[in-house]
Chain A
Amino acid sequence: MPKRVLCKFFAHGACLKGEHCEFSHDWKDPPNNICTYYQKGICSYGSRCRYEHVRASQSDLSASSSSTVLRQSLISDSVPLGPSLTTTFGGSVVHPSASAEFPGSSRAFLPPTKQAWNLESEHQALSDNRDFVEPRRVNPAERSICSFAAAGNCPRGEKCAHIHGDLCATCGKHCLHPFRPQEREEHIKMCEKKQKHLEALKRSQEIECSVCLDRVLSKPTAAERKFGLLSECDHPFCISCIRNWRSSSPSSGMDVNTALRTCPICRKLSYFVIPSVIWYCTPEEKQEIVDSYKAKLRSIDCKHFNFGNGNCPFGTSCFYKHTVKPGSYVWKYHRPPPRRFNFMDMDAIFDVFEQLIAEDEMDIFDAEDFEYDDLTPLEMAFLLMQQDFESMRSSWCFDRLPPFLSGRRWILEFVNLHAYRDGRLEEVVLRHLGAEDGHTIIAKNIRLSDYLSDLHIG
């Protein structure tokens, strides 16, 4: 077996090649202690080098540099190869077996480094070692395929020492290893995926955004060259346009649910936007994009949940990852911490309240389907109110208050929220911001609209 020299990487516990490694993963095999830099003529440690400084032409084959052993173990009996030549190329990308065929022209490939010994001996060594290589039979699965053939054309043709891979029908390269079925399959799969992606990308080039009327993939900056897919319909937009539209302030007169959250073309209500660099043709492709997007989000920690210290309005239906850190609020109390919103415009809150109550539309928000980026804190609060969680608490912090409470900063808290469809709340609590405990319950089991109409904001 060729595995005679201990793998350097394996010795450090870091060999990524595993069983396909050309070097020995057996501790009993001797490590290679020859300085490859000296052989290239560029060892800067000189006599202080801890590796052996051996001239390549003098070294025994078995004790030669690691790359020499590697090459020799791989070449077949018909190809003679001098160690000096190999070491010249040791570590470089040029394949020694390919250049060994043409010893005369091999000079052209030499890196412009001065040898530690004179160049004459190189040729000498080459001819000396002509008969030196002993034929070895290697398990075909362990032989690597010829990278020249894989790249398109191997100058050695039939005589090549390496296995020429089979043709991959998708990428048109001879890069399928005939004896590694798993690798073949992986390559074919990858290749088909890449091909599909390329085709989709090509198709997507023509797609125009219906808002800016530009081709999405011809936008000036990379961040803009993305589609924003709507969950409920198939009209194409660029991500910036659709996000822009959905985040337009409702104060501009547009209705949130009949205009802003709907598709600009078909007006179908979509709950979230999926960014994608390609456009799709089939529902399956769309599903794939959506799934991979959600999978990606699931790997990101939720910033609202904040490892158990924050309150995520989406609870268990959140797209992002909820990791509870030991010692966090959730870890200690098994419930999310109370919510607080600072600097809210009370008029805006109450306007929305009244509007919602008037329209009896407390159920307009669907917790499962929102992407947070689209939500204002206010909307989140409503989302919260709608959820039937016994322990869910909601609170707003505000500076402007009804006259009877004015002058201090208070928190209006909606405790034990049961989001009754008629807008009834179980308990409304006002408390001073400084006081953590000691609530002042100012209303209990009331209709929200009654409560709000009693509040005279001035």
Chain B
Amino acid sequence: MIDFARVQKELQECSREKDTSGIKVSPKSDNLARLTGIIPGPLGTPYEGGSFEIDITLPDGYPFEPPKMKFVTKVWHPNISSQSGAICLDILKDQWSPALTLKTALLSVQALLSAPEPDDPQDAVVAQQYLREYQTFVGTARYWTESFAKASSLGLEEKVQRLVEMGFAVGLVRSTLEAVGGDENLALEKLLSS
């Protein structure tokens, strides 16, 4: 049986420290077994500025069994499936400890974003790219953050539109935007210099 008293306490703690940690957890419905977590992309990484939504399901044995977590927001990361959002993190599997909380688990996921482990990949394609073409990886990750993890990512199409109107080909505009991580001015410079 899930220890709901503990889940309640965890939620209270999360909302208290929301401003310092930036991590938010909220129940999806009245049932506390299904929750949604939001973590900000760590500074100094391609994920900076993004806010990532994570789907959390508490198993019956919680807190003696790890919560099931997966990314809802699409992420380009060696340890996170670009297709399903599945997370490869030991503390969510065999290294779980009941002293960990939803907040600390989410913090660990956040730490995983800033320190990928390409040797133990979840997504082989991303891991390959990370190891072989690091710059491309950074560009793609930034583009994905820009496209999927930002409230302003809606504006992406507008940027494409504007650049296309300046006379560049749609395909080229998209790939350039992706390479520079969605920054319109940088993309323009790059397009002009090429």
B-side interface residues, number (CB < 8 Å): 18
Q: Which of A212-271 contact B (CB under 8 A)?
A: 212-214, 235, 241, 244-245, 248, 252-255, 258-259, 262, 264-265, 267
Cβ 8 A contact of B10, one of A213, A235, A254: A213
Of the listed residues A213, A244, A254, A262, the one surrounded by the most CB atoms of chain B closer than 10 A to its CB is A213
In contact, B93 and A211 (Cβ under 8 angstroms): no
In contact, B65 and A264 (Cβ under 8 angstroms): no
Residue of A nearest to B101 (CB): A213
With A212-B3, A213-B6, A213-B10 already in contact, the answer to whether A244 and B94 are too (CB < 8 A) is no
Q: How far is the CB of A257 from chain B (nearest CB, A)?
A: 11
With A212-B3, A212-B6, A252-B61 already in contact, the answer to whether A241 and B98 are too (CB < 8 A) is yes
Q: Does B64 contact A (CB under 8 A)?
A: yes
Q: How far is the CB of A262 from chain B (nearest CB, A)?
A: 8
| Complex: A259 Cα to B99 Cα, angstroms | 11
| Complex: A235 Cα to B99 Cα, angstroms | 10
In contact, B9 and A213 (Cβ under 8 angstroms): yes
> B38-69 CB contact bits vs A (8 Å, 1 = yes)?
00000000000000000000000101111000
Residues of B within 8 A of A170 (CB): none
Q: How far is the CB of B65 from chain A (nearest CB, A)?
A: 5
| Complex: A212 Cα to B5 Cα, angstroms | 8
Residue of A nearest to B65 (CB): A252
In contact, B95 and A244 (Cβ under 8 angstroms): no
Size class of A's contact patch? 20 to 34
Q: Does A416 contact B (CB under 8 A)?
A: no
Cβ 8 A contact of B97, one of A213, A244, A259: A259
| Complex: A259 Cα to B64 Cα, angstroms | 11
Residues of A within 8 A of B168 (CB): none
Q: Does A147 contact B (CB under 8 A)?
A: no
In contact, B94 and A254 (Cβ under 8 angstroms): yes
Residues of B within 8 A of A248 (CB): 61, 64-65
Residues of A within 8 A of B10 (CB): 213
Q: Does A129 contact B (CB under 8 A)?
A: no
Q: How far is the CB of A134 from chain B (nearest CB, A)?
A: 72
Residues of B within 8 A of A244 (CB): 64
Q: How far is the CB of A227 from chain B (nearest CB, A)?
A: 15
In contact, B94 and A264 (Cβ under 8 angstroms): no
Q: Does A210 contact B (CB under 8 A)?
A: yes
In contact, A259 and B95 (Cβ under 8 angstroms): yes
Residues of B within 8 A of A214 (CB): 5-6
In contact, A253 and B93 (Cβ under 8 angstroms): yes
Residues of B within 8 A of A212 (CB): 3, 5-6, 63
Cβ 8 A contact of B94, one of A213, A245, A259: A259
| Complex: A41 Cα to B98 Cα, angstroms | 69
Q: How far is the CB of B67 from chain A (nearest CB, A)?
A: 13
Residues of B within 8 A of A258 (CB): 94-95
With A212-B5, A212-B6 already in contact, the answer to whether A245 and B65 are too (CB < 8 A) is no
Residue of A nearest to B98 (CB): A211
In contact, B98 and A245 (Cβ under 8 angstroms): yes
In contact, B65 and A210 (Cβ under 8 angstroms): no
Residues of A within 8 A of B5 (CB): 212, 214
> B61-90 CB contact bits vs A (8 Å, 1 = yes)?
101111000000000000000000000000
Cβ 8 A contact of A264, one of B61, B93, B98: B98
Residue of A nearest to B91 (CB): A259
With A213-B9, A252-B61 already in contact, the answer to whether A259 and B96 are too (CB < 8 A) is yes
Q: Which A residues form the contact surface with B (CB < 8 A)?
A: 210-214, 235, 241, 244-245, 248, 252-255, 258-259, 262, 264-265, 267
Q: Which B residues form the contact surface with A (CB < 8 A)?
A: 3, 5-6, 9-10, 61, 63-66, 93-100
Query: Closest 9 CB pairs between A and B?
Result: A264-B99, A264-B97, A211-B98, A210-B99, A265-B99, A255-B94, A213-B9, A264-B98, A248-B64
- Listed A/B pairs (15) with beta-carbon separation below 8 Å: A210-B98, A211-B6, A211-B63, A211-B98, A211-B99, A214-B6, A235-B99, A244-B64, A245-B64, A245-B98, A248-B61, A248-B65, A252-B65, A259-B94, A264-B98
8 extra interface residue pairs, beta carbon distance < 8 Å, beyond A213-B10, A252-B61, A254-B96: A211-B98, A244-B64, A248-B65, A252-B64, A254-B94, A254-B95, A258-B94, A262-B97
